[in-house]
Amino acid sequence: MTLAERPLDPKSHRDWPQEMLVPGSMAFVPPKEAKGEDGRWWQNVAGANWRQPHGPGSSIAGTENHPVVDIAYDEALAYANWLGRSLPTEAQWEFAARGGRDGDDDWSSAYDPEGKPIANTWQGIFPVLNTNGDGYAETAPVGCFPPNGYGLYDMIGNVWEWTSDWYRSGHSKAVAVNPIGPELASLRIAPGQTPSRVIKGGSYLCSMNYCCRFRPAARQPQENDLAAAHLGFRTVLSKPTP
């Protein structure tokens, strides 16, 4: 049973209303107007999980080649371990997302020079108008957009992806070939709060006028035990040591 199928611990979410603690996953519900507080378009859908992404009665039938969503960090890690793999560090993920490209980190991972979408993001005015210029309102089948320079698909857009690094504001300034994120003990976690991991890549909800995180260096925190409809993962297969 995944975390999305179990109620959240009220001790770790003391400020959350009771209806947010029931088993479920966070889903985007378009508001009627753009005014208002950020985040009010997110709702906990009771009963939503990776098998029923839109709640009870929904199904993943017909979307088997879409990225899995509604998976909390521990489930992503357990699956990676089952495969004999791992979840990427932020540095590994970002290196892979760049695809060997040097230079500025900008929107060119999501749009070509003519402005044509080359990744699954939001076209229009978030959160009220999506023109679906890329052909998809939600997740897209894996591999329907061009790969990057390393032959990797959907590193940008489609769904955010978990990394193994704990979140701390700003990139690490340590100079290293493959830097590792901060230790949990070094973070300042307020009593009653859940620590967050770094997620990368942006999703089908990232737009030019709001999120705009469809670039390799972009990052944001995600609570370790919170699943969401725009968040998935990928695994890393390390080269065997001689």
pLDDT tens profile 39-57: 688 888 988 999 999 999 9
On the question of pLDDT at 78 being above 80, the answer is yes
pLDDT for 18? 66
pLDDT tens profile 110-130: 999 999 999 999 999 999 999
On the question of pLDDT at 92 being above 90, the answer is yes
Q: How confident is the model at residue 187 (pLDDT cuts 50, 70, 90)?
A: confident
d(CA 218, CA 18) in angstroms, rounded, equals 32
On the question of pLDDT at 230 being above 70, the answer is yes
The answer to whether 155 and 96 are in contact (CB under 8 A) is yes
Return the structure tokens found at 117: 């979408």
Give the global pTM: 0.90
Q: How confident is the model at residue 185 (pLDDT cuts 50, 70, 90)?
A: confident
Q: How confident is the model at residue 229 (pLDDT cuts 50, 70, 90)?
A: very high
pLDDT tens profile 15-28: 666 666 677 899 99
**Domains of the chain, each with CATH number or no CATH:** 1-171+206-242 (3.90.1580.10)
CA 89 to each of CA 83, 122, 151, 220: distance values in angstroms, whole numbers, following the listed order: 17, 26, 19, 14
Task: Choose among 108, 128, 127: nearest CA to 118.
Answer: 108
